[in-house]
Every structure is written in structure tokens, then in C-alpha cells.
Structure 1
Amino acid sequence: MKYTETPIEGAVIIELEKHEDARGFFARGFCKKEFEEHGLEHEIVQCNFSKSVKKGTLRGMHYQSPPHAEVKMVRCLNGAIYDVIVDIRKDSPTYKQWFGVKLTDKDYKMLYIPKGLAHGFQTLEENSVIFYMVTENYNQQSERGVRWNDPAFDIDWPLSVTEISEKDQAFTDYYE
């Protein structure tokens, strides 16, 4: 796998190293040993799927607060998304900065999201399916979020929002 740092401290784009032949390709999508070598947390406790039917659907910006803060590893299995992270770690040199990357079912990239970042995505195609692994079990009392269009972050979403949940729409602006 190929590991590329992002402008947000600790966040990494992971690309497959494909072994191709007439049948298609084979590639390792996760390797505990490689994650250890790159200093990445890797104790997966839960895997989740998300399917969004409409193009322009926005989900986010979500995170879990300590002691249930989680690492997420996100990959698009069908369609395409614009995946966004916001650094809300007050002691981070990239505090309040955001980063977005297109993930598709053609590039097989994965975004590694460290603890302390809010995460969300917008679908760029209909019927987009996302698979993500997390290092903590979901804990409803620790569930948090910030508003997807909070001026404190000024995220540049690629499309107009066509669908968003009431919960995500109700998140407030981020307060320090």
C-alpha cells in the first residue's frame, strides 16, 4: 500500500498497490503490520456501510468525544464521494483546518482519519456505497457533530446539498 500524508496532521490517504493480470487485480486493503510501521492505529472493532441513493447527499460532520474517540478508515465501494475532515483538536498545528479528497470505486483510495477530527462526505454519484472501519464501538452518549456549513471552517463542498438528515442539519456552529 502507498501512504500519502494530507495537510491535516495524522490524516493519511492510503492507495492500493495492485497486482494485475488478465483476470483483474489483487491488492491488500489493510495490513496490521504496515499500519504499525507507519504509526497508525489499527485495532478495528467495528465495520460500517453507508449507502446514499441521491447525488449531492451530505452526511456529517460527525465525531465521537473521548473516551470513545475513534479512528476511521473510509473507502468508497460504489460511486464516488467527496470526503471531508476537519481538525478540532485544540492542541494541533492544523486546528480548525479542513481537507477534502475524492474517493471513488475506481481508485480504491482510503482516507485514514485520526481521533479528534470531524468527518463527513457528500455523494458525487447516485447509489454511492461507503465502507468504513473504526477503532471504537459506537457510543451514543459520545456522538457529536458540527454543522456542515459552519463559517468557522468554510468547507468548499462541490455540489448543492440535495439530502441531509434532520440530525446533521441541527448541528450547531463549532464553539471553542
Structure 2
Amino acid sequence: MNSEKKERREAQLAKKAETIKAFASEVVLQSPTQMLIDGRPYILEKNYRNGFEVKKLEERFSNILTKYDYIVGDWGYEQLRLRGFYAAGSNKGTPTQSIERLQDYLYEYCNFGCAYFVLRNLDVQPPTPSHNGGKNKKTGHKRRTQNRKEKSQKAYTAQRVYDINKKQPRSKKYTTDQVKKRKRRFTIRQKNK
């Protein structure tokens, strides 16, 4: 039984290794600080505690990171995590995605004192359109909220008028006159003075 589990586990690991090799990027070092990743030039700006490892970068690098001006790789639990940042003063992304906020990112999301590195992208690629024709899922939501705002800003042309003074006749079942007096199940005693 254990040998079957062991064989299945080895087969899973072999399949995972093949997948990693299939999606691995090509990293060519030109000098200790300059490199080409999939033919695009990068410069190693900072290598804190020797966090830069070529083999792990080849495994983890994804083409989605080519749109960022900076790529930060940090180590946590023996795993390399890559995150993209935009240049300072860039209008792209949110303010938290600016390289000026790198220290905040390291304090918030990384282990204290972890090894990390910063790569600067010299050839930033614009993001490729997605498979859904470049349509963002949130565009419909945006349109709906704009339509709601437009509707709420329009003046009402007709008001509903409710007849408040008009009373509805009650049915005779529920009038107080016809309520039957019930017999009490207990007696009320009064104190003698």
C-alpha cells in the first residue's frame, strides 16, 4: 500500500517538474547586475541578504510582470514571491503599487529581515489584452452605478398621491362589539381593610 502511494507521489512530483520546466523563463546573466529575462533587459538594483537566485527566478517569473517598472522578489518559508511595482510618480496602478512604498510592502507582507531583491525593468511592455477582448469585468458594474446616479439626480415628474383620510370599512368579524366575553379562569380577591 505504501509503495503505491509513493509511486503516485513520485508521478505527481515528476508532472509538477515538467510543468515548471514548460513555463520556466530564460534568465541570462550578462554581468553580476545586468541580465536578460526572456530577451528583456533588467538591472539588479538591490540584493538584500543575497536573496537573488537565478534558478528560482527562472521558475517563478511570469510574463505578466513585464508591465511593471520594478520587480521585487522576497523569500518566505523557502519560497520566492514576486511582486511588481511601478516607477515613482507614475500614474499607473494604485499608490500602494509605487516603488516608493517598497518599505511599507516589506514591513506589511514579508517576514521580518527576509532576503529580497529588486529588479528594474529597462523595457517595460504594455499589458497584452486579455482573452475576453480587452473588456474588464467591472465595466458593467461601473455603467450600472452611473445609470443609478443619473436616475437619482433626475427630478420626479409625477408623485404618488396616497389617500390618507380615506378609511377602509372594517369587516364585522373584528369589531369590538362582537367580542365574546370569556370566563375567567382565576378569581381576583381583594384585601380586607
TM-score range, shorter chain: under 0.3
Q: Please identify the structure whose Cα radius of gyration is greater.
A: 2
TM-score (norm 2): 0.24
Higher helix proportion, which one?
2
Which of 1 and 2 has higher RCO (CA within 8 Å, sep 6+)? Answer: 1
Q: Which has the higher strand share?
A: 1
